[in-house]
């Protein structure tokens, strides 16, 4: 557990005083209303509009709108600058720093250890570390499996193209889950898999998707921006990932696996507020059972029996009766 911090002591004193006043006045007591907002900063290596980052930003802005935090962020931070930006926010007295340590694991953990009074919650492929380095990830393999079921039942060519950013565990497990869902309902389906080695390069992702269409793919798994644009231009269907883009691509997005960062962020904020923040793995809060992931489907584009089967499997996941396999190895094309 983090050592007691000045802001925590002050907050406890404030809450105690507020409790006395509200009880005496006969009003209900709300800690969220009484406490001063904590200071939160986020560090992003890509534009805040990027899928993964946008979910974190959305959850933090919601907390700010509730008055629980003040929120600032830096976007497009180069890996070589990441350590410096972390230090700057810690020096500014941030109570919680949120970010992504995938490409800067050693540097990020080193900085966190130098500022034990600051809580760090970082996207990471590895585990938490004392005294203050907690980790998270977008574990949306469950809704990815369900979107795979829809795709496998909908494809007519039995060829699905998949374009990813980097072949890291966080991406690999979602793609494998999707492939498992597709083959569970259609053993004949084949996959074309490409990684563009970038988190944000829509033109490159679009070109990769066009190449897959030329090879017979009639459904595209859009792990990156740009893929759905290719599907739209060719009159084909796409599978969304992390965010719902159906409003931008009407008639194109067949199904999506969505990530909701609120359960993770809200728990981290609560732990900082009550001075109980510990280095822990927040990853499970992205599971569907915690509301961290969800599945949507455009029922006008999918076979009715496929929608029914996917929703039945969704309920089994929520009831704890079905577990989606986790496979972190790099997925390969099967044709």
pLDDT tens profile 297-307: 999 999 999 99
C-alpha span between 312 and 211 (Å, rounded): 35
C-alpha span between 155 and 158 (Å, rounded): 5
Residue 200: its pLDDT value, please?
A: 86
Query: Do residues 47 and 76 make contact, with C-beta atoms less than 8 angstroms apart?
Result: yes
Residue 15: its pLDDT value, please?
A: 38
Write down the pTM of the prediction.
0.86
Residue 13: its pLDDT value, please?
A: 39
Residue 27: its pLDDT value, please?
A: 34
Residue 309: its pLDDT value, please?
A: 98
Bridge partners of 73, per DSSP, are: 42
The DSSP output letter for 288 is G
Residue 50: its pLDDT value, please?
A: 86
Q: Is 309 left (phi over 0), alpha (psi -120 to 50) or beta?
A: alpha
Beta carbons within 8 Å of 224's beta carbon, 6+ residues apart: 51, 163, 164, 165, 196, 198, 199, 200, 201, 202, 205
Residue 10: its pLDDT value, please?
A: 40
Indicate the SS3 state at residue 104. coil
Which residues of the chain are modeled with pLDDT < 70?
1-35
Instruction: Please list the alpha-helical segments (H only) found in the chain.
Output: 6-25, 31-34, 51-65, 79-91, 105-114, 141-154, 169-185, 202-214, 227-234, 262-273, 304-318
Indicate the SS3 state at residue 237. strand
Beta carbons within 8 Å of 214's beta carbon, 6+ residues apart: none
Residue 51: its pLDDT value, please?
A: 85
Compute how many other C-beta atoms are within 10 angstroms of the C-beta atom of residue 326: 12
User: Of the candidates 229, 205, 226, 230, which has an alpha carbon nearest to the alpha carbon of residue 217?
Assistant: 230
Residue 306: its pLDDT value, please?
A: 98
Strands 237-242 and 219-222: parallel
Long-range Cβ pairs for the range 248-251 (8 Å, 24+)? 251/301
Q: Is 197 left (phi over 0), alpha (psi -120 to 50) or beta?
A: left
C-alpha span between 224 and 241 (Å, rounded): 8
Token duo for residue 92 = 């500014």
């Amino acid at each position: 557990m983090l050592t007691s911090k000045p802001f925590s002591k002050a907050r406890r004193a404030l809450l105690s005083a507020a409790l006395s006043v509200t009880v005496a006045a006969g009003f209900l007591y709300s800690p969220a209303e009484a406490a001063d907002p904590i200071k939160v900063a986020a560090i992003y290596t890509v534009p805040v509009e990027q899928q993964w980052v946008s979910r974190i930003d959305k959850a933090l802005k919601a907390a700010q709108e509730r008055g629980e935090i003040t929120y600032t962020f830096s976007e497009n931070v180069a890996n070589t600058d990441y350590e410096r930006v972390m230090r700057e926010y810690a020096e500014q007295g941030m109570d919680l720093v949120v970010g992504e340590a995938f490409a800067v694991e050693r540097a990020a953990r080193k900085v966190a250890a130098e500022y034990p009074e600051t809580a760090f919650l970082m996207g990471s492929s590895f585990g938490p570390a004392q005294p203050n380095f907690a980790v998270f990830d977008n574990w949306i393999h469950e809704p990815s499996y369900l979107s795979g079921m829809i795709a496998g039942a909908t494809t007519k060519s039995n060829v699905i193209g998949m374009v990813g950013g980097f072949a890291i565990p966080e991406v690999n497990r979602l793609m494998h889950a999707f492939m498992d869902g597709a083959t569970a309902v259609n053993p004949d389906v084949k996959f074309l898999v490409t990684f563009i080695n970038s988190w944000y390069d829509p033109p490159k992702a679009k070109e990769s998707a066009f190449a897959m269409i030329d090879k017979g793919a009639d459904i595209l798994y859009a792990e990156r921006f740009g893929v759905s644009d290719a599907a739209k231009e060719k009159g084909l269907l796409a599978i969304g990932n992390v965010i719902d883009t159906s409003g931008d691509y009407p008639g194109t997005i067949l199904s999506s696996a969505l990530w909701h960062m609120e359960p993770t962020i809200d728990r981290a904020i609560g732990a900082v507020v009550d001075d109980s923040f510990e280095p822990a793995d927040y990853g499970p809060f992205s599971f569907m059972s915690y509301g961290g992931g969800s599945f949507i489907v455009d029922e006008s584009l999918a076979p009715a029996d496929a929608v029914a089967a996917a929703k039945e499997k969704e309920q089994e996941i929520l009831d704890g009766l079905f577990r989606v396999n986790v496979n972190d190895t790099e997925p390969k094309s099967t044709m």
